[in-house]
Amino acid sequence: MAKTTSENLTRGNIYLQIINFSLPILIGRIFQNLYNNVDAIVVGQYVGKNALAAVTSSSDISMLLTGFFTGFSVGAGIAFSRYFGANKHKELSDSIHTAITFSFMIGLFMAIGGVLLSPILLNIVACPPEVMAEADSYLRIYFVGVLFTSLYNVGSGVLRAVGDSRSPFYYLVVASLTNIVLDFVFVKYMNMGVNGAGIATVISQGLSLILVFRKLLATDDVYKVVLKRLRLDIAMLKEILTLGIPAAIQSSLISVSNLFVQRYTNEFGASAMAGIGAARKIDRFVGMIGESVGLSASTFVSQNVGSKNYKRAFKGIRACLIIGVISFALTGALLMIFARQCSMLFSTDEEVLKYATDMLYVIVPCFIFQNINQLYSNATRGFGKSTAVMVLSIIGMIVMRQIFLALALNYDHNVFFIYICYPVGWFFSALFVYIYYVFKIKIPYRKEAYN
């Protein structure tokens, strides 16, 4: 019998399964985040403040497209998990091949579009003239890797959907370490500036893609990919898009919202851009706890909904909440204590450090709202309500945040309102999604779950 790496989450110890499933995702996300963070650290230390501002101001723009595929892979993974949980292996295979084909087509289109539209996007966020040239150069290079990122996200989504969160973790470790080495080689020793950081990232993204598809092509498990079967099954694509596109649009629109936040940030100058950008890169490490537990909830719930084991699905959601809150409390406390030391990884400029640490002190305690939002958003998607999550998240994360910024900064042009606008979005999104979850998921499914 061929060795398999998939895992059925419809039976077994719930807490152990979620912890074992979440940890590789969390550590993998940490290494994945190192792609752009190491770029920022190296250019901040060895090139200068303007170079750091160029890299950090490009982050939300790059996430505009990469976020689309991250969201799409989460939604598509729900379809994969349902078929796997229901033992519908033919449908699982068809959905995987269709999703990969679609990601290749859209990824190529968006990579080309990103390269061509880079100056326009930087103008939208009002990138300062002293930063523009380096930001444009870095961003164009970064967009070349969007195709690699799109295919990797779908490939790793396949593995997570069938219960294998370890393999994507291993691949991200290898790719991230490669990125770190190449950053130092290209930036510090070859003096290639922000271009060297961008090239190092693209090479590392390509390596992660090669590793994940080597796994998908070589396996004999039910999720095996066969190149000649890559095609668009229209009926299957429609089902995947029903779950995947709302999550993809949600992720992209939140990035659009962040572009406008970046525009407000840029009004405070290069030091604020660098400091706030550094703080946001640091806070993402805390946010990855909620993201990882949320992704685990999505796979766990999807598999159990596929097998109609609703009672176990609700138990899994409760377990994810407990695990997420305890993990956040520990890591959040550490970050509050070492906020300055973490910020010094990016810059030793005192003005930059003040912006970074002040922002971290404001937003880290509020990450509980983001954790709740991640958990119940992914749990609701696991029940097939992806469109509702998209709408509610857009209202909370985009509309409420932009209204707050417009009113607050008009009242007082204070950088504090830039800091607090992120928790404002998390709070309203968490509130709206939780109310929907209770009335549209928990109450209606309770009878089926406990009868």
* Token pair for 28: 């993998």
Alpha carbon distance 137, 303 (integer Å): 43
What does pLDDT average to over the chain? 84
pTM exceeding the 0.85 threshold for the entire prediction: no
Which residues, at least 6 apart from 260, have a Cβ–Cβ distance to it below 8 Å? 125, 402, 405
Residue 45, class by beta-carbon neighbours within 10 Å (0-12 exposed, 13-18 middle, 19+ buried)?
middle
Burial class from Cβ neighbours inside 10 Å (0-12, 13-18, 19+) for residue 450 reads: exposed
Q: Which residues contact 257 (CB under 8 A, 6 or more apart)?
A: 397, 398, 401, 402, 425
pLDDT in tens, 281-340: 788 777 788 888 888 888 888 888 888 888 898 999 999 999 988 888 888 888 888 888
Q: What percent of the chain has pLDDT over 90?
A: 18
Lowest mean pLDDT among 113-127, 173-187, 240-254: 240-254
36-68 confidence digits (pLDDT tens): 677 777 877 778 777 777 776 676 677 767 777
pLDDT greater than 60 at residue 3: no
Lowest mean pLDDT among 354-358, 392-396, 418-422, 444-448: 444-448
**pLDDT at position 1 over 80:** no
Summarised one tens digit per residue, pLDDT across range 405-415 is 889 988 888 88
How many residues are recorded in the chain? 451
Cβ-contact 201, 43 below 8 angstroms: no
pLDDT, residue 36, reads 60
Q: Which two tokens stand for residue 101?
A: 């084909």
Q: What are phi and psi of 226, to 5 degrees?
A: -115, 120
